[in-house]
Protein backbone atom coordinates (compact mmCIF):
# COMPACT_ATOMS: atom_id res chain seq x y z
CA UNK A 1 0.00 0.00 0.00
CA UNK A 2 1.25 3.50 -0.82
CA UNK A 3 2.68 5.25 2.26
CA UNK A 4 0.28 8.19 2.08
CA UNK A 5 -2.78 5.97 1.76
CA UNK A 6 -1.53 3.73 4.57
CA UNK A 7 -0.99 6.62 6.98
CA UNK A 8 -4.25 8.35 6.10
CA UNK A 9 -6.24 5.20 6.71
CA UNK A 10 -4.36 4.28 9.88
CA UNK A 11 -4.12 7.66 11.59
CA UNK A 12 -7.21 9.19 9.99
CA UNK A 13 -5.63 12.50 9.03
CA UNK A 14 -5.25 13.53 5.37
CA UNK A 15 -2.03 14.79 3.83
CA UNK A 16 -1.78 18.16 2.13
CA UNK A 17 0.44 18.31 -0.95
CA UNK A 18 1.42 21.95 -1.50
CA UNK A 19 4.01 22.49 1.19
CA UNK A 20 7.63 23.50 1.55
CA UNK A 21 9.69 22.24 4.47
CA UNK A 22 12.96 23.91 5.40
CA UNK A 23 15.36 22.15 7.76
CA UNK A 24 16.94 24.35 10.44
CA UNK A 25 19.93 22.80 12.15
CA UNK A 26 20.95 24.01 15.62
CA UNK A 27 20.39 27.40 17.19
CA UNK A 28 22.53 29.33 14.72
CA UNK A 29 19.99 28.52 11.99
CA UNK A 30 16.83 28.08 14.05
CA UNK A 31 16.65 31.28 16.05
CA UNK A 32 17.45 33.81 13.29
CA UNK A 33 14.76 32.26 11.07
CA UNK A 34 12.16 32.40 13.84
CA UNK A 35 13.04 35.95 14.88
CA UNK A 36 12.94 37.14 11.25
CA UNK A 37 9.46 35.65 10.82
CA UNK A 38 8.27 37.46 13.95
CA UNK A 39 9.83 40.72 12.76
CA UNK A 40 8.09 40.44 9.37
CA UNK A 41 4.66 39.55 10.77
CA UNK A 42 1.92 42.05 9.86
CA UNK A 43 -1.20 40.45 11.37
CA UNK A 44 -0.57 37.88 14.07
CA UNK A 45 2.05 35.91 15.98
CA UNK A 46 1.07 32.72 17.82
CA UNK A 47 3.75 31.19 20.02
CA UNK A 48 3.55 28.04 22.14
CA UNK A 49 6.44 26.42 23.97
CA UNK A 50 7.22 24.01 26.75
CA UNK A 51 10.65 25.45 27.59
CA UNK A 52 11.28 29.17 28.03
CA UNK A 53 14.11 29.70 30.46
CA UNK A 54 16.90 32.26 30.38
CA UNK A 55 19.86 33.56 28.41
CA UNK A 56 20.40 35.94 25.51
CA UNK A 57 17.91 34.18 23.27
CA UNK A 58 15.18 34.33 25.91
CA UNK A 59 15.63 38.09 26.05
CA UNK A 60 15.63 38.38 22.25
CA UNK A 61 12.33 36.53 21.89
CA UNK A 62 10.67 38.60 24.60
CA UNK A 63 11.94 41.74 22.88
CA UNK A 64 10.72 40.64 19.43
CA UNK A 65 7.28 39.60 20.69
CA UNK A 66 6.93 42.79 22.70
CA UNK A 67 7.86 44.92 19.70
CA UNK A 68 5.18 43.25 17.57
CA UNK A 69 2.54 43.67 20.28
CA UNK A 70 3.42 47.35 20.68
CA UNK A 71 2.76 47.80 16.94
CA UNK A 72 -0.80 46.59 17.42
CA UNK A 73 -0.12 43.12 16.02
CA UNK A 74 -2.09 40.32 17.71
CA UNK A 75 0.50 38.42 19.77
CA UNK A 76 -0.50 35.31 21.71
CA UNK A 77 2.05 33.55 23.92
CA UNK A 78 1.15 30.23 25.55
CA UNK A 79 3.63 28.80 28.05
CA UNK A 80 3.47 25.44 29.76
CA UNK A 81 3.19 26.14 33.49
CA UNK A 82 5.67 23.41 34.37
CA UNK A 83 8.22 23.55 31.58
CA UNK A 84 8.49 27.35 31.51
CA UNK A 85 8.29 27.81 35.28
CA UNK A 86 11.94 29.00 35.61
CA UNK A 87 11.31 31.84 33.14
CA UNK A 88 12.42 35.32 34.19
CA UNK A 89 9.25 37.08 35.34
CA UNK A 90 10.58 40.39 34.02
CA UNK A 91 10.23 39.00 30.49
CA UNK A 92 6.59 38.13 31.16
CA UNK A 93 5.94 41.63 32.43
CA UNK A 94 7.66 43.12 29.39
CA UNK A 95 5.46 41.21 26.94
CA UNK A 96 2.26 41.88 28.86
CA UNK A 97 3.01 45.58 29.16
CA UNK A 98 3.53 45.76 25.40
CA UNK A 99 0.08 44.27 24.82
CA UNK A 100 0.84 40.60 24.21
CA UNK A 101 -1.64 38.04 25.53
CA UNK A 102 0.49 35.79 27.76
CA UNK A 103 -1.25 32.70 29.14
CA UNK A 104 -0.07 29.78 31.27
CA UNK A 105 -1.13 26.26 30.21
CA UNK A 106 -2.45 24.19 33.13
CA UNK A 107 -1.21 26.31 36.06
CA UNK A 108 0.02 23.91 38.72
CA UNK A 109 -1.97 25.46 41.57
CA UNK A 110 -5.25 25.18 39.70
CA UNK A 111 -5.15 21.62 38.43
CA UNK A 112 -5.77 18.45 40.35
CA UNK A 113 -2.63 16.55 41.22
CA UNK A 114 -3.35 13.74 38.73
CA UNK A 115 -3.64 16.35 35.95
CA UNK A 116 -0.42 18.20 36.75
CA UNK A 117 1.72 15.51 35.14
CA UNK A 118 0.09 15.95 31.73
CA UNK A 119 1.74 18.89 29.96
CA UNK A 120 1.86 20.46 26.52
CA UNK A 121 5.24 19.58 25.08
CA UNK A 122 4.49 21.24 21.74
CA UNK A 123 6.79 23.90 20.26
CA UNK A 124 4.96 26.08 17.74
CA UNK A 125 5.45 29.50 16.17
CA UNK A 126 3.00 30.74 13.54
CA UNK A 127 3.25 34.13 11.84
CA UNK A 128 0.29 35.59 9.91
CA UNK A 129 -1.10 32.04 9.57
CA UNK A 130 1.30 31.69 6.62
CA UNK A 131 4.60 30.49 8.12
CA UNK A 132 4.93 27.90 10.86
CA UNK A 133 7.83 26.51 12.85
CA UNK A 134 7.86 23.31 14.86
CA UNK A 135 10.31 20.72 16.12
CA UNK A 136 12.23 20.31 19.33
CA UNK A 137 13.80 23.67 20.16
CA UNK A 138 13.25 25.44 23.47
CA UNK A 139 13.85 29.10 24.17
CA UNK A 140 16.90 28.94 26.40
CA UNK A 141 20.65 29.42 26.23
CA UNK A 142 21.24 25.66 25.91
CA UNK A 143 19.96 25.81 22.33
CA UNK A 144 22.15 28.71 21.20
CA UNK A 145 25.13 28.08 18.95
CA UNK A 146 25.95 25.21 16.59
CA UNK A 147 26.46 22.12 18.82
CA UNK A 148 30.18 22.84 19.02
CA UNK A 149 30.53 21.92 22.70
CA UNK A 150 28.46 20.62 25.66
CA UNK A 151 26.97 24.09 26.22
CA UNK A 152 25.32 24.13 22.75
CA UNK A 153 22.70 21.42 22.28
CA UNK A 154 22.19 19.49 19.04
CA UNK A 155 18.73 20.31 17.67
CA UNK A 156 16.67 20.23 14.49
CA UNK A 157 13.67 22.49 13.87
CA UNK A 158 11.51 23.04 10.78
CA UNK A 159 9.98 25.96 8.90
CA UNK A 160 6.85 25.23 6.86
CA UNK A 161 4.68 27.02 4.34
CA UNK A 162 1.55 25.73 2.64
CA UNK A 163 -1.66 24.09 3.77
CA UNK A 164 0.11 22.13 6.54
CA UNK A 165 0.22 25.40 8.48
CA UNK A 166 -3.49 24.91 9.18
CA UNK A 167 -2.80 21.65 10.97
CA UNK A 168 -0.05 23.21 13.04
CA UNK A 169 -2.35 26.12 13.89
CA UNK A 170 -5.00 23.66 15.08
CA UNK A 171 -2.56 22.30 17.66
CA UNK A 172 -1.96 25.82 18.96
CA UNK A 173 -5.69 26.60 18.99
CA UNK A 174 -6.50 23.42 20.91
CA UNK A 175 -4.15 24.33 23.76
CA UNK A 176 -5.11 28.03 23.65
CA UNK A 177 -8.83 27.28 23.99
CA UNK A 178 -8.22 24.97 26.94
CA UNK A 179 -6.05 27.58 28.65
CA UNK A 180 -8.44 30.50 28.07
CA UNK A 181 -11.78 28.65 27.95
CA UNK A 182 -12.62 30.86 24.97
CA UNK A 183 -13.02 30.34 21.23
CA UNK A 184 -12.49 33.73 19.63
CA UNK A 185 -12.62 34.23 15.87
CA UNK A 186 -9.65 36.58 16.19
CA UNK A 187 -7.60 33.40 16.53
CA UNK A 188 -7.93 32.97 12.78
CA UNK A 189 -6.43 35.69 10.59
CA UNK A 190 -6.34 34.04 7.19
CA UNK A 191 -7.75 31.04 5.38
CA UNK A 192 -5.56 31.67 2.36
CA UNK A 193 -2.57 29.35 2.12
CA UNK A 194 -1.15 29.82 -1.37
CA UNK A 195 0.56 26.82 -2.87
CA UNK A 196 4.15 26.92 -1.70
CA UNK A 197 5.69 23.67 -2.85
CA UNK A 198 5.14 20.00 -3.60
CA UNK A 199 5.94 18.25 -0.32
CA UNK A 200 3.16 16.07 1.09
CA UNK A 201 2.74 16.62 4.84
CA UNK A 202 0.52 15.01 7.47
CA UNK A 203 0.11 16.90 10.77
CA UNK A 204 -0.67 14.81 13.83
CA UNK A 205 -1.56 16.52 17.09
CA UNK A 206 -1.90 14.22 20.08
CA UNK A 207 -3.24 14.81 23.57
CA UNK A 208 -2.67 13.01 26.84
CA UNK A 209 -4.80 9.89 26.96
CA UNK A 210 -5.34 6.77 29.04
CA UNK A 211 -2.65 4.30 27.96
CA UNK A 212 -2.92 5.27 24.29
CA UNK A 213 -2.03 8.01 21.86
CA UNK A 214 -2.05 8.40 18.09
CA UNK A 215 1.72 8.88 18.32
CA UNK A 216 1.97 5.18 19.21
CA UNK A 217 -0.12 4.26 16.17
CA UNK A 218 1.94 6.56 13.96
CA UNK A 219 5.25 5.09 15.09
CA UNK A 220 3.97 1.53 14.77
CA UNK A 221 2.74 2.20 11.23
CA UNK A 222 5.93 3.91 10.10
CA UNK A 223 8.24 1.27 11.55
CA UNK A 224 6.16 -1.59 10.17
CA UNK A 225 6.23 -0.06 6.67
CA UNK A 226 10.04 0.08 6.49
CA UNK A 227 11.77 -2.09 3.91
CA UNK A 228 15.25 -0.50 3.74
CA UNK A 229 16.11 1.67 6.72
CA UNK A 230 14.93 3.02 10.05
CA UNK A 231 17.10 5.84 11.37
CA UNK A 232 16.11 7.40 14.70
CA UNK A 233 17.57 10.18 16.77
CA UNK A 234 15.78 11.14 19.95
CA UNK A 235 16.47 12.90 23.23
CA UNK A 236 14.69 10.27 25.31
CA UNK A 237 14.26 6.63 24.28
CA UNK A 238 11.84 4.45 26.21
CA UNK A 239 9.46 2.70 23.77
CA UNK A 240 6.85 0.14 24.75
CA UNK A 241 7.23 -3.59 24.15
CA UNK A 242 5.28 -3.48 20.87
CA UNK A 243 7.62 -0.90 19.33
CA UNK A 244 10.69 -2.81 20.55
CA UNK A 245 9.27 -5.95 18.93
CA UNK A 246 8.74 -4.14 15.61
CA UNK A 247 12.26 -2.69 15.65
CA UNK A 248 13.76 -6.12 16.32
CA UNK A 249 11.61 -7.81 13.70
CA UNK A 250 12.57 -5.26 11.06
CA UNK A 251 16.26 -5.60 11.86
CA UNK A 252 15.97 -9.39 11.61
CA UNK A 253 14.34 -8.93 8.19
CA UNK A 254 17.43 -7.04 7.00
CA UNK A 255 16.26 -3.45 7.50
CA UNK A 256 19.10 -1.09 8.46
CA UNK A 257 18.11 0.07 11.97
CA UNK A 258 20.26 2.70 13.65
CA UNK A 259 19.41 4.77 16.75
CA UNK A 260 21.30 7.79 18.11
CA UNK A 261 20.78 8.69 21.77
CA UNK A 262 22.33 11.24 24.13
CA UNK A 263 25.57 10.06 25.68
CA UNK A 264 27.30 11.39 28.77
CA UNK A 265 25.95 14.90 28.15
CA UNK A 266 22.32 13.89 28.67
CA UNK A 267 20.27 16.34 30.72
CA UNK A 268 18.26 13.51 32.31
CA UNK A 269 20.32 10.62 33.63
CA UNK A 270 17.23 8.64 34.61
CA UNK A 271 16.02 8.68 30.99
CA UNK A 272 19.36 7.35 29.81
CA UNK A 273 19.11 4.44 32.24
CA UNK A 274 15.55 3.73 31.11
CA UNK A 275 16.82 3.48 27.53
CA UNK A 276 19.64 1.16 28.52
CA UNK A 277 17.19 -1.23 30.15
CA UNK A 278 16.00 -2.33 26.69
CA UNK A 279 19.38 -2.48 24.96
CA UNK A 280 19.68 -6.26 25.28
CA UNK A 281 16.93 -7.31 22.81
CA UNK A 282 17.89 -4.51 20.41
CA UNK A 283 21.55 -5.50 20.36
CA UNK A 284 20.61 -9.17 20.03
CA UNK A 285 18.83 -8.25 16.78
CA UNK A 286 21.93 -6.41 15.51
CA UNK A 287 20.31 -2.98 15.82
CA UNK A 288 23.04 -0.35 15.89
CA UNK A 289 22.89 1.87 18.97
CA UNK A 290 24.98 5.01 19.32
CA UNK A 291 25.73 7.55 22.04
CA UNK A 292 26.15 11.11 20.75
CA UNK A 293 29.37 12.51 22.20
CA UNK A 294 29.62 16.25 21.51
CA UNK A 295 26.70 17.59 23.53
CA UNK A 296 23.09 16.86 24.45
CA UNK A 297 21.25 15.26 21.51
CA UNK A 298 17.78 16.84 21.55
CA UNK A 299 16.65 16.37 17.92
CA UNK A 300 13.62 14.15 17.30
CA UNK A 301 13.77 12.56 13.86
CA UNK A 302 12.53 9.26 12.42
CA UNK A 303 13.57 8.42 8.86
CA UNK A 304 12.01 5.49 7.03
CA UNK A 305 13.37 4.23 3.70
CA UNK A 306 14.15 6.89 1.06
CA UNK A 307 11.34 9.44 1.29
CA UNK A 308 9.52 9.36 4.66
CA UNK A 309 10.56 11.78 7.42
CA UNK A 310 8.78 12.11 10.75
CA UNK A 311 9.61 15.02 13.06
CA UNK A 312 8.12 17.27 15.71
CA UNK A 313 8.04 17.58 19.48
CA UNK A 314 7.54 13.92 20.45
CA UNK A 315 10.35 11.79 21.77
CA UNK A 316 10.48 8.01 21.44
CA UNK A 317 9.35 7.46 25.03
CA UNK A 318 6.35 6.73 27.24
CA UNK A 319 5.84 10.37 28.21
CA UNK A 320 5.48 11.64 24.65
CA UNK A 321 3.32 8.69 23.67
CA UNK A 322 0.99 8.60 26.66
CA UNK A 323 1.18 11.73 28.81
CA UNK A 324 1.95 14.96 26.98
CA UNK A 325 0.29 16.97 24.23
CA UNK A 326 2.59 16.68 21.21
CA UNK A 327 2.72 17.58 17.53
CA UNK A 328 4.44 15.43 14.92
CA UNK A 329 4.58 15.78 11.14
CA UNK A 330 5.18 13.20 8.46
CA UNK A 331 6.67 14.50 5.21
CA UNK A 332 6.94 12.53 1.97
CA UNK A 333 9.87 14.03 0.10
CA UNK A 334 13.04 12.31 -1.11
CA UNK A 335 15.16 15.46 -1.00
CA UNK A 336 14.11 16.21 2.58
CA UNK A 337 14.81 12.62 3.63
CA UNK A 338 18.23 12.77 1.98
CA UNK A 339 19.10 16.05 3.72
CA UNK A 340 18.06 14.74 7.13
CA UNK A 341 19.89 11.46 6.55
CA UNK A 342 23.06 13.42 5.74
CA UNK A 343 22.68 15.13 9.13
CA UNK A 344 22.13 11.71 10.69
CA UNK A 345 25.36 10.39 9.15
CA UNK A 346 27.24 13.45 10.41
CA UNK A 347 25.84 12.83 13.89
CA UNK A 348 26.97 9.20 13.65
CA UNK A 349 30.51 10.42 13.04
CA UNK A 350 30.29 12.21 16.38
CA UNK A 351 28.84 9.19 18.18
CA UNK A 352 30.19 6.08 19.89
CA UNK A 353 28.64 2.73 19.05
CA UNK A 354 27.39 0.47 21.83
CA UNK A 355 28.57 -3.03 20.93
CA UNK A 356 26.93 -6.17 22.25
CA UNK A 357 30.21 -7.43 23.70
CA UNK A 358 30.83 -4.17 25.54
CA UNK A 359 27.27 -4.11 26.83
CA UNK A 360 27.56 -7.60 28.31
CA UNK A 361 30.58 -6.40 30.32
CA UNK A 362 28.75 -3.50 31.99
CA UNK A 363 29.10 -3.24 35.75
CA UNK A 364 26.86 -4.77 38.38
CA UNK A 365 25.98 -1.28 39.59
CA UNK A 366 24.75 -0.35 36.13
CA UNK A 367 22.62 -3.48 35.99
CA UNK A 368 21.13 -2.62 39.38
CA UNK A 369 20.17 0.86 38.14
CA UNK A 370 18.41 -0.71 35.16
CA UNK A 371 16.44 -3.04 37.43
CA UNK A 372 15.46 -0.21 39.75
CA UNK A 373 14.26 2.03 36.93
CA UNK A 374 11.75 -0.58 35.76
CA UNK A 375 9.48 0.42 38.64
CA UNK A 376 8.96 3.89 37.13
CA UNK A 377 9.63 3.34 33.42
CA UNK A 378 6.09 4.19 32.38
CA UNK A 379 6.44 7.60 34.03
CA UNK A 380 9.50 8.56 31.96
From 2-11, 107-116, 127-136, 321-330, the region with the lowest mean pLDDT: 107-116
Question: Which of the two residues, 379 and 179, has the higher pLDDT score?
Answer: 179
Q: What is the pTM of this model?
A: 0.92
- Fold exhibited by the domain 202-379: Endonuclease; Chain A (3.30.870)
Check residue 193 and give its pLDDT: 63
pLDDT grade, residue 277 (50/70/90)? Answer: confident
Check residue 269 and give its pLDDT: 75
CA–CA distances in Å: residue 173 to residues 17, 23, 154, 225: 22, 24, 29, 32
219-229: b or e for each residue (b if 16 or more CB lie within 10 Å)? bbbbbebbeeb
pLDDT grade, residue 190 (50/70/90)? Answer: low
Q: Is the pLDDT assigned to residue 350 strictly greater than 70?
A: yes
Q: Is the pLDDT assigned to residue 374 strictly greater than 70?
A: no
Q: Is the pLDDT assigned to residue 27 strictly greater than 80?
A: yes
Pairing of strands 74-80, 44-49: parallel
Round to whole Å and give the CA distance between 35 and 37. Answer: 5
pLDDT grade, residue 31 (50/70/90)? Answer: very high
Residues 29 and 154 sit within 8 Å (Cβ to Cβ) = no
Please give the share of the chain, as a percent, with pLDDT higher than 70: 88
Closest CA relative to residue 379, chosen from 34, 116, 84, 112: 116
- Please tell me which of 101-110, 143-152, 237-246, 269-278 the model is most confident about, judged by mean pLDDT: 143-152
Pairing of strands 326-332, 199-206: antiparallel
Residues 16 and 197 sit within 8 Å (Cβ to Cβ) = no
Check residue 213 and give its pLDDT: 77
Mean pLDDT of 118-136: 94
- CB-CB neighbours of 43 under 10 Å: 12
Domains 21-195 and 202-379 share a fold: yes
CA–CA distances in Å: residue 130 to residues 126, 166, 200, 269, 344: 7, 9, 17, 39, 29
- CB-CB neighbours of 289 under 10 Å: 23
| Domain extents in the chain | 21-195, 202-379
Residues 153 and 356 sit within 8 Å (Cβ to Cβ) = no
Residues 30 and 24 sit within 8 Å (Cβ to Cβ) = yes
Rounded to the nearest integer, the mean pLDDT of the chain is 89
From 180-189, 196-205, 216-225, 370-379, the region with the lowest mean pLDDT: 370-379
Residues 310 and 233 sit within 8 Å (Cβ to Cβ) = no
Vertex 373: Cα angle to 372 and 377 (nearest 5): 145
- DSSP 8-state assignment for residue 107: -
Residues 43 and 73 sit within 8 Å (Cβ to Cβ) = yes
Check residue 175 and give its pLDDT: 94
pLDDT grade, residue 273 (50/70/90)? Answer: confident
Round to whole Å and give the CA distance between 177 and 272. Answer: 35
pLDDT grade, residue 189 (50/70/90)? Answer: low
Q: Is 98 helix (H, G, I), strand (E, B) or coil?
A: helix
Beta strands in 264-305 (DSSP E): 288-292, 301-304
pLDDT grade, residue 82 (50/70/90)? Answer: confident
pLDDT grade, residue 373 (50/70/90)? Answer: low
Check whether domain 21-195 has CATH 3.90.1150.10, yes or no: no
Q: Is the pLDDT assigned to residue 320 strictly greater than 90?
A: no
Amino acid sequence: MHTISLLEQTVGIPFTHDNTVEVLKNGDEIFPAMLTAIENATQSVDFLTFVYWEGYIADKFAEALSEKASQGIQVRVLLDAFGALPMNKALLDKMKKAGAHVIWFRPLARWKIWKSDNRTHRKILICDDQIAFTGGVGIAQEWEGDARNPNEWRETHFKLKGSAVRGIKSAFVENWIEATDTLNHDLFKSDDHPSSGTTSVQVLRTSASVRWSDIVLLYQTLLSSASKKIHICTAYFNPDDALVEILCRKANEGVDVKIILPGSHTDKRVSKIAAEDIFEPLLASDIELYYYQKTMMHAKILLVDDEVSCFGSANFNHRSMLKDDEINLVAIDKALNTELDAHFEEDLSNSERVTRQRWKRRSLTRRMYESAIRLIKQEI
